[in-house]
Chain A
Amino acid sequence: MAALVDASAVDGLRRLSGGASRETWSFTADGRRLILRRDPPGSTKGGMLMEAALLRAAADGGVPVPEVVAAGDDWIVMEHVDGQTIARKILRDDEYAAARPRLARQCGGILAALHRIRLDVTPLDEPEPLDTWRETLDTLGQPHPAFELAFRWLAENRPASTRRAVVHGDFRNGNFIVGPDGVRAILDWELAHIGDPIEDLGWLCVNAWRFGVRNKPVGGFGEYDELVTAYEGAGGGTVDRDALLWWETLGTLKWGIMCIVQATAHTSGAIRSVELAAIGRRVCENEWDLMQMLPGAP
């Protein structure tokens, strides 16, 4: 480790909680606080060089991210950024009371900068969003009539995509480091891809990421207008509100399908866990949200 980060002394190595698919370790190298993220031994997903390239390009473009110190295919070392990532605390603790009213606008500005990252900084997939999730649900083999109603509406009301951009793919409350002053770093770039940039704005507004603060559609901390105005004002391009709603609806469906995927990890025996089993019963929350969102709801 010391050689990897070009340091003479490494101490205080400890594993942090959080991150189901990747391990996160905290340590100090020559007095500098650093973070190691790596694939667990034996289950290499790789792609960390892609993440490092994106983080560096993001930093160059003014997106707040931890500085990359060194990286390999299945590990990355970054500077430690002080602050809070637990969404419920960000939304409720007094320490962040002054930051909360600023977060939606900050996210708008950050996303505008993020969507200016050059498309060729690293090879990225360009998935077809509806087909991808249609196939995932079909593979799982569980019938969900509410999801079928959502797929129908999404297919019939798809907005014309006007731009291609680097999309973060998981830009939401819980993946930001927040301090009393506001957003300090955007984390978890592993789902980045090429796509319609409005996807990131819609995902940020999905009800699950409001963590119970439902009357604040942007991450549980802000209003649509704040996000959109800041995004457009920072040169992100015009946001069509129908397109934003379409992406939020797809995001709600997507999270519902992701909950089934997680519960299936338990039921299939791959990872036996009471937590994953319980997530299987959260799918109906997404079904409910979709039934409320689809036009013609009673």
Chain B
Amino acid sequence: MPDAAALVEAVREFLERDVMTSTEGRVQFHTRVAVNVLRMVEREINLGPDQVVRHADGLVRLGVADDAQLAAAIREGRLDDRMDEVRASVTETVRQKLLVANPKYLED
């Protein structure tokens, strides 16, 4: 039985093979966008669970519960004495988001 990732892949292939070739203009453009969105979903299904765990670990090390608390701590200067650590942690989180959203962005 195809799992969620396989179903998304099947829909993406249908859009690429059948819809892209039989549409033009605005609908074709939005089909291309939809194909990219489904690629993101496929990557999130694969990488997401591991990323959630790692992100939570990173937050615990900085002594905050979630991104809202981290954002507030940075804003209020409460993590200024650990700025290198904060910067490394935030950069890693953003890198993980890009691995799902647009991995090519990391290559250039």
Contact = CB atoms under 8 A, between A and B. Distances in A.
A118 interface: no
Contacts of A294: 87
A291 B106 CA distance: 12
Contacts of B26: 17
Contacts of A277: 37
Contacts of B36: 278
A284 interface: yes
B94 to A, nearest CB: 4
A214 interface: yes
Nearest to B94: A287
Contact of B101 (A151, A152, A284, A298): A284
B37 A291 contact: no
A149 B105 contact: no
Q: Main secondary structure on chain B at its contact with chain A? A: helix
Nearest to A290: B94
A213 to B, nearest CB: 10
Contacts of A278: 33, 36-37, 40
Interface string B24-55: 01100010011011001000000000000000
A275 B33 contact: yes
Interface in A130-175: 143-149, 151-152
A145 B101 contact: no
B74 A291 contact: no
A296 interface: yes
Interface string A157-198: 000000000000000000000000000000000000000000
B98 A285 contact: yes
Interface string A190-232: 0000000000000000000000101000000000000000000
Given A148-B71, A148-B75, A291 B91 contact: yes
A287 B92 CA distance: 11
B23 interface: no
16 contacts: A143-B71, A145-B70, A145-B86, A146-B93, A148-B71, A148-B74, A148-B75, A152-B75, A278-B40, A281-B101, A282-B101, A284-B101, A287-B90, A297-B87, A297-B91, A298-B88
Given A214-B108, A288-B94, 7 more contacts: A143-B67, A143-B72, A145-B67, A145-B70, A146-B93, A152-B74, A281-B102
Instruction: Give the 9 A-B residue pairs with the shortest CB-CB distance, closest first.
Output: A284-B97, A143-B71, A148-B74, A143-B68, A281-B101, A143-B67, A287-B94, A145-B70, A291-B91
